[in-house]
Amino acid sequence: MNNVPDRLSGLSAFVRTADLGSFVAAGKALGLTPSAVGKAVTKLEDQLGVRLIQRSTRKLSLTEEGRMFHERCRRVLEELDDAQESLQRMREMPRGLIRLSSPVIGQHVLMPALPAFLARYPEIEFDLDFSDQGVDLINDGADVALLMGPIPDNRFMVRRLKPYRHLLCASPSYLQQFGEPKAVSDLMAHRGIGFRFPDSGRLYEHTLRRSRSELPVRHNHFMTCNSLEAVREAVIRGIGIGCLPEFLAKEQISSGTLVPLLTDIIDVIDQFSLVWPSSRHQSPKIRVFVDFMARHLFASA
């Protein structure tokens, strides 16, 4: 039992490195130098007798053993965080206003989780700003942001949420009129509803993932929208085929209003991140919000 503290510090270093993608970012989150984080991970690997992270000059990537170990370690550390959080709540209940920025689509992610959070932390209030015009955490005065895609820069603390899927969908009426695509190559003969990012105007490209290969899915874009809700509505109305986040299409798929297509071929995985200025990472209200959302959003995905 004498090496338990060292083992826990090694687990923390490994999980943070896996979450954030580098020893530098993990060191900032843990208050350690990148070298100290790297040594802690190496020591953990030596204790386990297995390589967890592949190092290269370009990037770090988890091995197969590392991915399995990461998920289990994350749960262990979350349980420890829960225990510490429970003790802290006995001493001080987090309170105050959280200013949160998010793309408009984020309301479908956040709103279902907020009642449980507010029941647990009744003295926390929210000012929610949903906009697709981009988030400037520094100048807008937001405490935390829910973001899709790349993180603005390394001045921010980042907590990646559990991944979610995108599904290629069509309505029953569209399939009755135009037929169902049986292969990816069939999509070029169909009416595609494309999503265009509101801030950059860039068209979202689906990715075909089969085994370890990744290829873009070519789609004939009959219509483009800068709103995923509009894409969903167009697909429901039978205008064409569109790629939608599973959380946005789940209810319609359950009711039969939408039909998922090519699910055995197309596998599109995406991920939200919670981001906040590094100078605020010690704020109790931000800490409990980030920890709660990281555990509960997409928990059933």
Q: What is the mean pLDDT of residues 202-210?
A: 66
User: What integer pLDDT is reported at residue 8 of this predicted model?
Assistant: 82
Q: Are residues 114 and 145 located together in one domain of the fold?
A: yes
Is 230's pLDDT higher than 90?
A: yes
CATH number at residue 133: 3.40.190.10
Query: CA separation (Å) from 216 to 17, 55, 181, 182, 220?
Result: 29, 27, 17, 17, 13
pLDDT higher than threshold 70 for residue 213: no
209 shares a domain with 280:
no
Region of residue 93 (left: phi > 0; alpha: psi -120 to 50; beta: else) = beta
Q: What is the 3-state secondary structure (H, E, C) of the chain?
A: CCCHHHHHHHHHHHHHHHHHCCHHHHHHHHCCCHHHHHHHHHHHHHHHCCCCEEECCCCEEECHHHHHHHHHHHHHHHHHHHHHHHHHHHHCCCCEEEEEEECHHHHHHHCCCHHHHHHHCCCEEEEEEECCCCCCHHHHCCCEEEEECCCCCCCEEEEECCCEEEEEEECHHHHHHHCCCCCHHHHHHCCEEEEECCCCCCECCCEEEECCEEEECCCCEEEEECCHHHHHHHHHCCCCEEEEEHHHHHHHHHHCCCEEECCCCCCEEECEEEEEEHHHCCCHHHHHHHHHHHHHCCCCC
Q: Where residue 78 sits, what CATH number does that domain have?
A: 1.10.10.10
Pairing of strands 164-170, 268-270: antiparallel
**263 pLDDT exceeds 70?**
yes
Does residue 86 sit in the same domain as residue 96? no
User: What's the pLDDT tens digit per position in 7-54?
Assistant: 788 889 999 898 888 899 888 888 899 999 999 999 999 989 999 998
- Asked if pLDDT for residue 193 goes beyond 90, the answer is yes
- Which of 35, 60, 91 delimits the end of a domain? 91
The pLDDT of 92-107, averaged and rounded, is 89
Model confidence pLDDT, tens digit, residues 112-165: 999 999 999 999 999 999 988 776 666 677 899 998 876 766 678 889 898 888
Average pLDDT taken over every residue of the chain: 85
**What average pLDDT does this structure show over 267-293?**
82
Is the same domain home to 201 and 147? no
More confident residue, 234 or 151: 234
Which among 145, 99, 119, 135 is positioned nearest to 285, based on CA atoms?
99
More confident residue, 166 or 258: 258
Residues 49-95 pLDDT 10s? 999 998 887 778 899 999 999 988 888 888 888 777 776 665 677 88
User: Last residue of a domain, which of 71, 91, 111?
Assistant: 91
Q: Tell me, what's the pLDDT at 157? A: 86
At residue 237 the predicted structure's pLDDT band, cuts being 50, 70 and 90, is very high
* 59 and 118 co-located in one domain: no
**pLDDT value of position 289:** 95
Rounded mean pLDDT, 179-195: 90
Q: Check whether residue 138 and residue 45 sit in a common domain.
A: no
Whether 82 and 40 map to the same domain: the answer is: yes
Looking at residue 301, its pLDDT comes to 44
Domain edge (last residue) among 62, 91, 120: 91
170 and 255 belong to one structural domain: yes
pLDDT score for 74: 85
Same domain, 261 and 231: yes
Say if residue 18 is in the same domain as residue 83.
Answer: yes
* Shared domain check, 298 and 245: no
**CB-based contacts of 96: which residues, under 8 Å, 6+ apart?**
123, 124, 125, 285
Nearest to 75 by CA among 294, 272, 298: 294
Q: Are residues 138 and 278 in the same domain?
A: yes
In this prediction, residue 281 has a pLDDT band, given cuts at 50, 70 and 90, of very low
> Residue 299: its pLDDT value, please?
62
Is the pLDDT score of 214 beyond 70?
Answer: no
Residue 266 domain boundaries: 164-270
Count how many domains the chain has.
Answer: 3
Its sign, for the CA torsion 3, 41, 160, 98, is positive
- The pLDDT, as a whole number, for residue 1 is 39
> Which residues are within 8 A (CB) of 162 and not within 5 positions of it... i.e. 6 or more apart?
271, 294, 297, 298, 299, 301
